[in-house]
Structures are given as C-alpha cells and as structure tokens.
Chain A
Amino acid sequence: QVQLQESGPGLVKPSETLSLTCIVSGGSISSYYWSWIRQPPGKGLEWIGNIYYSGSTKYNNYNPSLKSRVTISVDTSKNQISLKLSSVTAADTAMYYCAKENSYGATNWFDPWGQGTPVTVSS
C-alpha cells in the first residue's frame, strides 16, 4: 500500500524559494502521476501541479496561476518527488500535500494523500 510523507522547512522568508519533498513508500514512483496540492489556513484546496516519470519520459503540468514560479521534479533513486515555489509571499502560507494521481477515462483523482506539511511565509 502506497504511503506518502511530506517534509520541509516550516518557515520561509518572503521572496525566497520554498522547497518541499515527498517520500513515496510501498511502491514505485515510475509510471504514475504525482501531484502537489495546497490548502491555506481555513480555505479550500488548490492544485499546484504534477509530474509523470517513466524511463526516459517525463511530463509536468502546472496550475496556470502558479506556472511561472513552480518546479516539480522526481528523484527515482530516493523514490521522492520535490516541489520548489519561488518568490513566495504570505499568500503562499498553506498546508502542502502530495498525492498519487489516478486516472481512468475522463477523470483523474487523488488517492492516497500524504499527511501534509505546513509552511508559513514570514520574515
């Protein structure tokens, strides 16, 4: 059974780059899409982007509203996915989740999710 565990610095200064990792256990990260999703305190969910990796093939998709600041990458040797978000502001304060993306036909859904890691942007 796949399990995901996010980690990263809980506090990031404005204008700096937020860096988070998600370790996947219980299965390979190859041949699946993996997403990052965030949730500001007391607010709803926002999809950040995803990555697919298989052999020499790699695809990324990003939320158009965040695309200019986001990079999602994969390290197969560590079975982990990484998120970098540059030029952060207080609006980037949120709980950040990684999730396995499943798809069939005309849908894609997220399951399972990691427990999330909180990030606060403050000086």
Chain B
Amino acid sequence: QSVLTQPPSVSGAPGQRVTISCTGSSSNIGAGYDVNWYQQLPGTAPKLLIYGSSNRPSGVPDRFSGSKSGTSASLAITGLQAEDEADYYCQSYDSSLSVPFGTGTKVTVL
C-alpha cells in the first residue's frame, strides 16, 4: 500500500475551489522531500501538474496551486471547470529509497 494518503474523492461545482490533501510521514514529506502532482484524464497517461511542491510547468493554468507543510501537501484547484474532472496523484521521495505515489483522488465536477 502507498505511504502517501489522499482522499478517495472530492467534488465541487463549477467555479468553486477544491483542495486535495496528501499525507505522508517523517520518512518522505516530513524529511524535507518535495511533492509533485499529476493529473490523469480518463484513458490517458498522467500529466505533470505541479513540481517541487509549488511550481507549475509551462502550460498549466494558474488555477492549480500546490503547497507543503510538515508531513503533508495540498493541491488546490480554484475556479473549477468541467475539464478538471480527472484523477490526481501526489508523488514524493522516501528514505527507503523508493518513490511513492499517493493513493489517488478522483475529482468530480458537479
């Protein structure tokens, strides 16, 4: 099982703000390793959304933002749009020399 825990699902109406948490431990996020976030649209490969906990690659809308504190990280989506309906995964590094992904969160736009 993954060492990074996310809520199975979050939902919101168009235009609203939703947040997704990613809870780790002292061997990964709490050890100072940054968190990255990926968006996976149905039937497609994951796409990088946030790297280094809070940096957006070029082309990613500024509606997406990331933060990290202690042993947890968060992804926020503001101004929720229908096209944001997807699965979202966090990812970090662990001192066990592995690269864990989060359990994944399905975002539903109501």
> Residues of A at under 8 Å CB distance from B?
35, 37, 44-47, 50, 61, 63-65, 97, 102, 104-116
Contacts and interface: CB of A to CB of B under 8 A. Distances in A.
Interface residues of B, number: 29
Say whether chain A's binding surface is mostly helix, strand, loop, or mixed. strand
Contacts of A65: 98
Given A44-B104, A45-B89, A109 B98 contact: no
Interface of B: 2, 32-36, 38, 44-48, 51-53, 57, 89, 91-93, 96-104
A109 B104 contact: no
Contacts, number: 70
A116 B45 contact: yes
Contacts of B89: 44-45
Q: For the complex of A and B, list the 7 residue pairs with the smallest distance between their C-beta atoms, beginning with the closest.
A: A107-B34, A111-B48, A47-B99, A109-B36, A45-B101, A109-B51, A113-B45
Contacts of B38: 45, 110
A111 B34 contact: no
